[in-house]
Amino acid sequence: MRLVSFVPVGTKINFLSCRKLGLFLSVILCIGSSILFFSRGLNYGIDFEGGILIEVRTSQNADISDMRARLSGLGLGQVELQEFGRPTDVLIRVERQSGDADAQNRAVEKVRATLGNTVDYRRVEFVGPKVSSELVEAGVTAVLLALAAMLLYIWFRFEWQFGVGAVVALIHDVVLTIGIFSLLGLEFNLSTVAAILTIAGYSINDTVVVYDRVRENLRKFKVMDLIELLNLSLNDTLSRTLLTSITTLLALGILYTFGGEVLKGFSFAMIWGVLVGTYSSLMVATPLLVQMNLRRVAFENNDDGSV
């Protein structure tokens, strides 16, 4: 049975011919994202800004769309609803109100008056600025530790140039994701942090596949020009890269369309992350090996039938 190849066998796209343009574009986009972050900031969600958490239970499966429509007209600012454990349980998040504890209590009373006695109020909590600042610190720490761990892993498996290239590509993906959220004013919450960590894992996986083929070809073609060898490696893995990205985007597109309001931010961040992660594997991580003068010394002693 003949298999259909997504990318024709023998494809020879010269990715490295535009490596300087690609790296220049990435630098400009990263600078632009940084300017947006420091000038406009992010639209932080309740997780980071603080607010009110109300857990309710309905007698039948909750109509979250109806509840959201009723609560959105109360003038309380950002209001989020999500199913919590069971179809009858709903977690309501209301942004922190201006003023003291009385202002928060008045917001809770508005919610109670709107929903009436049709629901059972199981929990009411206030997330203050101290807790939200701790969540910000925890989120930043998680991202930095993930990047450091990946740097050490790539450095251990390959040469230091591979480790630096992989982490620069990861930082590129994270910065551009933060930039697009700042540009569009999308809500940035803990689920977005989870998406960024997932993007980092996805991107490093894609980069490792390319790097592994580069290492294999370095051992095999010891006299081949480095740029030619990197192009060969990228073309060898192109089919796998595109197939993985497209199938992932199909699943994320469905999640974004039908996953509801709660998952929109997460799925959008993932879609964007897959796109920039695929780009960075091709046009950032690999071209950086040329810029850092990758040496063949570490591969010359690996005699495995080299050409």
pLDDT of 307: 37
Cβ proximity of 231 and 12 under 8 Å: yes
- Residue count of the chain: 307
Above 80 in pLDDT, residue 220?
A: yes
Q: What's the confidence (pLDDT) of residue 142?
A: 78
Strands of 86-95's sheet in order across: 79-84, 86-95, 51-58, 119-127
CB-count burial class (<10 Å; 0-12, 13-18, 19+) for 184: exposed
What are 82's strand-pairing partners?
91
Three-class DSSP category at 110: helix
Tens of pLDDT, residue by residue over 151-200, are: 787 777 777 788 888 888 988 998 999 999 999 888 887 788 888 888 88
Q: What is the pLDDT, as a whole number, of residue 239? A: 85
Residue 15 has what DSSP assignment? G
| DSSP E strands, 111-262 | 119-127, 187-188
CATH superfamily to which 15-42+132-300 belongs: Multidrug efflux transporter AcrB transmembrane domain (1.20.1640.10)
Instruction: Provide the mean pLDDT of the chain.
Output: 82
Beta bridge partners of 222: none
Task: For 6-26, write each residue's pLDDT tens digit.
Answer: 666 667 888 888 888 989 999
What pLDDT sits at residue 306?
40
pLDDT of residue 108: 85
pLDDT confidence bin for 29, thresholds 50/70/90: very high
Query: What is the pLDDT, as a whole number, of residue 13?
Result: 83
Tell the CATH topology of 51-127. Answer: Alpha-Beta Plaits (3.30.70)
Domain ranges of the chain: 15-42+132-300, 51-127
pTM: 0.76
Name the pLDDT band for 301 (thresholds 50, 70, 90).
low
